[in-house]
């Protein structure tokens, strides 16, 4: 009886010392929330997406500023030429060579304004030209002090401009949603690497403790073998278990270090230790709420809307090209030619022009009609394809919601099963020290604990994978009840 008590105390002391020694190792730890919501958004992948998104915003800003007045100034101070030119006499048609020895300088300023309502363009300009003829020692000035012009398509320009505006504004909204989606996918990548590092840590901790337990059991088995309490077969069985545990521990350490390094490289940080996340996600997600935010935010559905708008624009353009249409250009201004700069701006002459052109498709062997039918078919195809892909996407959403709600239940069950497996394993170790169980039962309990650990990790991973998949699809944080645009865009820009 005293010998059994001594063995039991020795076993407990060994386990206690090993746990204390292991817990005192100084390591820098990081939580799942820090990795996903802080460090992943500072990674190089996130920085690349931020720069690309800034470019998207600047492109849209350029489109909007394209409807503001633009001012341009041109200046050509030197245009020197000295050569013989072949000219024809207008009177008798004879040719002769003329010595061209001159310099021509010009300057001009132009203001342009696009008219969104009609799709036309208004421009106001002023120009000055100075000619210095060295061969005849003569200077002259040609000026257009003021000129205003307007041009547009006769029919359809306003609607085309409206459709283009709708497409550009829709593209800007999609750019914001796609940016949130890309950052959310980067967070998912960080989550996957975190889970790989977590599994490496859990497996290493488990195999370490298993190795320490089997080493202690091997010492006890040696004492029991000498005293005749166990057979040599049982001793060899425990020795084999100890060797397998040490091998598993070395492999787990190698896998854990590799997973830590992959996570650190992705985040751009030093190697760190992860911690087991606590359950901090919703117990269930309502399908109707998720579908609402997916339809409202997901760039996939928004992209289908853009495709529909582009098909409508192409159809309208095909209709315009197959019908009677034209262009109009109006211009009014003043100009003057004089030998001096001052005279070039006195008593200027009025200059007016009106140009109206028509395009009338008369006979083209039905090419325009076929083009119109092609555009109509593309438009109808786009509508049918949009409805089909939306139905498929909605089905994917429902599957993601079901996977998440199911994973949450499995987490709770798997966590409890792992706790029970740990308790059962500890009880069998104590019973073995008292000689109440065999080595085979210890091995079986160890296998059950390992299986429970695998299921526990899988439940954690599947829950967070399902949650972040749904979070990316809906661009909505169901945990904090806020859209990702508020977190990822408005707080950064």
Tens-place pLDDT, residues 82-94: 888 787 877 887 8
| Residue 335 clears pLDDT 70, i.e. is over it | yes
Looking at the DSSP bridge assignments, the partners of residue 85 are: 98
CA 7, chain centre distance (Å): 61
Q: How many Å apart are CA 474 and CA 290, to the nearest integer?
A: 6
Percent over 90 (pLDDT), the chain: 6
User: Judging by beta carbons within 10 Å of its beta carbon (0-12, 13-18, 19+), is residue 56 exposed, middle or buried?
Assistant: middle
* 319/66: higher pLDDT: 66
Share of the chain above pLDDT 70, in %: 85
Question: Please, what sign has the CA dihedral across residues 424, 429, 434, 440?
Answer: positive
Q: How many residues does the chain have?
A: 493
Give me the pLDDT at residue 65, please: 86
d(CA 232, CA 221): 9
Model confidence pLDDT, tens digit, residues 45-77: 999 999 999 888 888 888 888 888 888 898 888
Q: Is 196 helix (H, G, I), strand (E, B) or coil?
A: helix
pLDDT at 112 over 70: yes
The pLDDT of residue 193 is 92
User: Other CB atoms closer than 10 Å to residue 148's CB: what's the count?
Assistant: 13
DSSP state of 346: S
The full DSSP string for 411-446 is HHHHHHHHHHHHHHHHHHHHHHHTT-S-HHHHHHHH
Cβ-contact 111, 123 below 8 angstroms: yes
In the predicted model, is pLDDT for residue 8 greater than 60? no
**3-class state of residue 339 by DSSP:** coil
pLDDT (0 to 100) of residue 366 = 62
Residue 131 · residue 100 · CB < 8 Å: no
Give the dihedral of Cα atoms 12, 18, 22, 24; nearest 10 deg.
80
More confident residue, 60 or 350: 60
In this structure, are residues 285 and 400 in contact, taking their beta carbons and an 8 Å threshold? Answer: no
Answer yes or no: are the C-beta atoms of 206 and 453 closer than 8 Å: yes
CB 327 within 8 A of CB 356: yes
Cα separation, 463 vs 483, whole angstroms: 20
**Could you tell me the pLDDT band of residue 332, with boundaries at 50, 70 and 90?**
confident
CA neighbor of 195 nearest in space, from 277, 267, 268, 279 = 277
> Confidence class of residue 22 from pLDDT cuts 50, 70 and 90?
very low
Which of 394, 202, 438 minimizes the C-alpha distance to 300? 394
Report pLDDT for 330.
78
**DSSP annotation of 118:** T
Token digits of residue 421: 């497996």
Q: Which tops the pLDDT comparison, 24 or 370?
A: 370
Question: Would you state the pLDDT for residue 415?
Answer: 84
**pLDDT for 409:** 86
Of 414, 450, 446, 455, nearest to 427 by C-alpha is: 446
Arithmetic mean of pLDDT, 124-139: 85
């Amino acid at each position: 009886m005293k010998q059994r008590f001594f063995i039991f105390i020795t076993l407990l002391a060994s386990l206690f010392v090993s746990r204390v020694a292991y817990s005192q190792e100084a390591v820098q730890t990081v939580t799942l929330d820090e990795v996903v919501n802080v460090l992943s958004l500072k990674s190089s992948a996130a920085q690349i997406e931020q720069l690309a998104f800034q470019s998207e915003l600047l492109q849209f800003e350029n489109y909007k500023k394209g409807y503001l007045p633009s001012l341009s100034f041109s200046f050509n101070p030197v245009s020197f030429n000295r050569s013989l030119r072949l000219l024809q006499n207008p009177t008798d048609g004879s040719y002769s060579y003329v010595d061209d020895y001159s310099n021509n300088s010009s300057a001009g300023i132009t203001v342009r304004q696009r008219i969104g309502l009609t799709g036309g363009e208004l421009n106001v300009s002023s120009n000055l030209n100075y000619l210095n003829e060295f061969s005849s020692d003569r200077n002259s000035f040609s000026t257009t002090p003021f000129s205003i012009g307007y041009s547009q398509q006769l029919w359809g320009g306003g609607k085309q401009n409206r459709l283009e505006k709708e497409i550009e504004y829709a593209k800007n909204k999609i750019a914001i949603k796609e940016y949130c989606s890309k950052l959310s996918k980067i967070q998912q990548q960080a989550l996957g690497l975190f889970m790989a590092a977590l599994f490496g840590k859990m497996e290493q901790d488990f195999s370490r403790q298993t190795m320490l337990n089997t080493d202690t059991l091997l010492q006890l088995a040696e004492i029991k073998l000498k005293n005749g309490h166990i057979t040599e077969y049982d001793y060899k069985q425990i020795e084999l278990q100890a060797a397998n545990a040490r091998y598993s521990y070395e492999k787990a350490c190698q896998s854990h270090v590799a997973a830590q390094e992959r996570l650190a490289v992705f985040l751009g940080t030093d190697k760190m230790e992860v911690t087991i996340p606590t359950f901090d996600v919703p117990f269930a997600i309502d399908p109707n709420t998720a579908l609402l935010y997916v339809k409202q935010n997901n760039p996939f559905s928004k992209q289908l809307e853009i495709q529909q708008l582009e098909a409508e624009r192409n159809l309208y353009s095909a209709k315009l090209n197959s019908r009677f249409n034209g262009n109009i250009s109006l211009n009014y201004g003043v100009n003057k030619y004089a030998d001096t700069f001052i005279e070039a701006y006195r008593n200027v002459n009025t200059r007016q022009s009106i140009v109206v052109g028509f395009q009338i498709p008369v006979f083209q062997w039905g090419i325009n009609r076929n083009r119109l039918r092609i555009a109509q078919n593309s438009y109808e195809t786009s509508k049918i394809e949009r409805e089909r892909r939306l139905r498929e996407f909605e089905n994917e959403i429902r599957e993601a919601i079901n996977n998440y709600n199911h994973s949450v239940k499995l987490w709770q069950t798997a966590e409890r099963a792992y706790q029970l497996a740990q308790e059962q394993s500890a009880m069998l170790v104590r019973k073995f020290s008292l000689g109440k169980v065999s080595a085979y039962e210890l091995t079986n309990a160890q296998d059950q604990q390992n299986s429970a650990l695998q299921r526990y990790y899988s439940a954690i991973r599947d829950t967070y994978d399902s949650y972040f998949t749904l979070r990316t699809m809906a661009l909505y944080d169901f945990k904090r009840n806020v859209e990702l645009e508020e977190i990822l865009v408005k707080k950064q820009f």
